[in-house]
Structure 1
Amino acid sequence: MIPAHSLKSIKDRAKNCLLRPYITCQRQPVADDTFQFMTSFNMQRPVKYQTVEVKEERQSKLIGILFCHPKSPLGKAEIVDHLDYFHERSGETVDFFCAGFGAYWPPEFHPDKSVVTKINDTEWLFSSRAYNDIRKEIEAETSWEHSGEAELVLLSARRTHQNSAELDFSSAIVCKLEQMGKDKAFTSVRAFFESIFRFAEKHGGADPVWALSDKKGIETGGGFLKESILSLLPKNLSESYKQAEHFVVRDISK
């Protein structure tokens, strides 16, 4: 979980993440010059393995922009008190940005700020003004209009040829968390987030399967992310949500 006081802060942090190499640990065979005689008198070279770090350039990363006021019932019950765990659990394959939240703000920055929680002994602050600023910025770039309830906007951050980052709102979808809870799409927001984290771990990497490319095209890329999120829900709701694209889970590209 990453604090976000403006859309620019989200883009800057996404850029830093994409410019860091994606590191995986892989087992690779190691050549062995010794020979082993088997009972059949055939000589075989034993295969030995070592674990090595492999670095790849990141091309894309799944991010979420979470709109949830800390004083809302859902924010109090399922978000704020669990931010430290979400922060650890989300790992390297997905970043969730918390709109309106921040840390290490100077005294004059967002005078309406207040402390809402701590993560790794660092105070996290919340500003309604910063929250509203991000809302306005994203509404200007998409067809999304904030409902006033808790919502999660999911999209890809893509690396550009200029070694910067762009947020691909053409593939963005919005999940209305409070309505999904009422529909019993999940047992809790915590469970839903866990399913997204596992999905990102399974399909992520330096160039995730949902990332857009020239070969896939915009419609294919956006559709894959949406279908993937719907696949995490109970089958009956997944089918009904496909029919109600304008409401609970829908794309928000302009």
Structure 2
Amino acid sequence: MQPWIQQATAQTPQGVTLRLWQRGEEFSIRLTDGNELMNSRLGGSEEALATLALEHLQARPAPRVLIGGLGMGFTLRAAQTLSPQDAVLVVSEIVPELVDWAATHMAAVFGECLSDHRVEIRKGDVGAEIRAATGAFDAILLDVDNGPDGLTRDGNGALYSDAGLRAARKALTPGGILAVWSAAPDSAFTARLAKAGFTARAHGVRAGRSGRGGRHTIWTAVRPAG
């Protein structure tokens, strides 16, 4: 078996180190303690994040979608597949090096998806994007940290707080949808979504595309149209 080789490192704004590892054609982004945040073989649940949200928007012309976290691009590529040609797909990534890795070390994984005319990459905090918006997006897809129970950045918790969810609701158009990826279920978060005025549902999905691997959770939360 081929060994894992470290290709690059990056730091989050709070100084947490991310390490990019490669083994053959497989990539892994991990914390210093070895905890894996993402793997290029296991994108099924990240793709489901986009699928569940974009299916809700099928009848909307020129949908505007905000994706929080580039990661390995699984959510973005799934959104591209399901979105019309007049869609706008804004990707907010707070760690600039991840965008650079997409174009260099992981170019074979990303292909041409970042050159799509529908895609706009914004290097910065998706929370700030949300707080600055009013009715700007038809969908907000959050794959930030490990979900409501974050690992890499304390500030990510603000996205999932009562105030953060109210800001997301304000940033959505009427009938728009917030979708949130999580490594684990969280009944308290489901309750917070309802408290913030969403019609919410939790979905259990597999990590792998073939229906195998660990089980992750995706919430779909719709802002009422009225």
Query: What is the TM-score with the length of structure 2 in the denominator?
Result: 0.30
Larger relative helix fraction: 1
Structure having the higher Rg: 1
Q: Which has the higher contact order (CA 8 A, sep 6+)?
A: 1
Query: What is the TM-score with the length of structure 1 in the denominator?
Result: 0.27
